[in-house]
Amino acid sequence: AATAAAAGHCMHGEPVTASMASQPSLKGWQTWGGRHVFLCDGRFMVGPDWGVTCFAVALTTVLSVAFWIFVCPTLAGAPLVTSVGMLLYALTLTLLVATATADPGILPRAPYVDDAESLANASAERFVEVRGVTMPLKWCSTCRIWRPPRASHCTECNVCVERFDHHCPWTGQCVGLRNYRYFFGFVLSVCSLCAYTLVVSALSFLHALAAALTDATSGGDRVGVALDERPVPAALSIATALILLCVCPLLCYHCSLTCRNATTSEEIKGTFADRANPFDQSCPANCRHVLCRPLPPSRLHLRSAAAEELGGPMILRNDGGGGEGGGGVELPMAAADEGPPPLRTATLPGSEGKRRPAREQSSPDDVPV
C-alpha cells in the first residue's frame, strides 16, 4: 500500500515528504518529486512529454519506410541507397532515445530542509566567482537547494538541471549537462536524414519527369504524368524540405551556442548580455568541452532505497566555519574527481550583513579547463 501511494505521488508530480521516503520498501524512483515516468523498476526514465516522443519516432519511421519501399528501388544502386538511408534512420533513432532516456543532469532535492530554512535561504544572497566573474547562486524553493551556476528549474519536468539548455518537447526531456551532446547529434542526424531523403526523392521524381518530357504520348501535362507515376517521391520531397526548413536553423543556432559555450536559457534570459561569459574560452576548446569531454556521473540513484537517495552523500553541507547555526548553506556536491574546494564566505566592503563566497565552482561542468 505504501508503494502504491508513493507511486501515485510520483506519477502526478506531487511532492514526497521525507517520512514517505524513509520507508524501507520504497526506492528512489517511487518517491520521485518530478513529473518523469519510470520503466523497468526505475532503470529507464522518460519525460512527461513521452507521447510526443512516440509521435516523433512514428513519423520518422513512416517516412523512412516509405522512402525505402517506394523511392530507393526506382534508382540505380538501390541496395546501397537503401543501406545509407537505414543507417541514417538507425542513428537518428538511437540519438533520440539516448536524449529522451538519459539523465540530463538532474540535481537531487533536499526534502529535509524545513520551510523556515527554505524561506530564509530564499531571501538570502549567495555568489560564486568563476574566472573572475561574480555570479549569483539562486535558491530553488521547490527542490530546496542552492542551484550552481548555469543550472535552472524546468517547470515541465519539475526538477533542477545542471547546465540547463531547454526543455525539448520532441524528446520529452530536459536538455542539460549530461544529454546535450546526444541532443546535438540528434538534430544533426535529423538534418542529414532529411537532406539525404530529399535529394534522393527529388532525383527519383526528376527521372520520372524527364521520361514524361521525352514521351510524345504523355500529353501536355507532363508534371501531372510524373506525379501520377511517382507520387511518393514527390510527397517525400515536400515533407523533408519542410522539416529541413525547421531543423536546419535549429542546428545552426546550436552550433553557434556550442562554439561560444553558451546555452539557450542564458541567451533567452540575457545572462551575459552586459558582461563576459566566463565559460567561453576558444571555439575548439568550447567544442571539446561541450561535446567531447567525459560525462560526469549521474547524481541520481533511482533504484537505491529512498532513504539513501534523499540522504547526505549527494549534498555537501557548508557551515561557513560557524558550525551549527553558522549560516551555512547546502550546495550540490561536485564529482569526486573534480570536486571544488569547500565554500568559503567573506564579508566584502559595502556588503556588511551579507555572506558572500570568496571562491567556489559548484559544478563539474563549470570548472575551468
3 state SS for 111-175: CCCCHHHHHHHHCCCEEEEECCEEEEEEEECCCCEEECCCCEEECCCCEEECCCCEEECCCCEEE
What's the rounded Cα separation, in Å, for the pair 184 and 25?
A: 39
Cβ-proximal residues to 240 (8 Å cutoff; 6+ apart), any chain:
63, 194, 195, 197, 198, 201
* pTM over cut 0.85: no
What's the rounded Cα separation, in Å, for the pair 99 and 183?
A: 6
What's the rounded Cα separation, in Å, for the pair 145 and 316?
A: 11
Cβ-proximal residues to 324 (8 Å cutoff; 6+ apart), any chain:
none
Residue 168 annotated among the catalytic residues of the structure: yes
Cβ-proximal residues to 19 (8 Å cutoff; 6+ apart), any chain:
none
Q: What is the per-residue pLDDT for 211?
A: 83
Helix-helix angle 50-66:78-101, to 10 degrees: 180
Chain-centre distance for alpha carbon 363: 17
Exposure b/e, 343-354, CB count within 10 A at least 16 = b? bebeeeeeeeee
Q: What is the pLDDT along the chain (369 residues), one digit of tens a residue?
A: 444 444 444 444 445 555 554 455 788 888 888 899 988 888 889 989 888 999 999 999 999 999 999 999 989 889 999 999 999 999 999 999 999 999 999 999 988 888 899 999 988 889 898 888 888 899 999 999 999 999 999 999 999 999 999 999 999 999 999 999 999 999 999 999 999 999 999 999 998 888 888 875 555 677 888 888 899 999 999 999 999 999 999 999 999 999 999 999 999 999 898 888 999 999 999 999 999 999 999 998 888 876 544 433 333 333 333 333 333 333 333 333 333 333 333 333 333 334 433 334 444 444 433
What's the rounded Cα separation, in Å, for the pair 226 and 51?
A: 37
* Identity of the residue numbered 12: H
| Strand residue runs (E) in 321-360 | 329-332, 344-346, 356-359
Structural contact between residues 147 and 348, judged by C-beta atoms closer than 8 angstroms: no
Q: What is the per-residue pLDDT for 42?
A: 85
Q: What is the per-residue pLDDT for 343?
A: 38
Assign residue 105 a region (left: φ > 0; alpha: ψ between -120 and 50; beta: otherwise).
left
Q: What is the per-residue pLDDT for 84?
A: 97
From 140, 143, 160, 168, the catalytic residue: 168
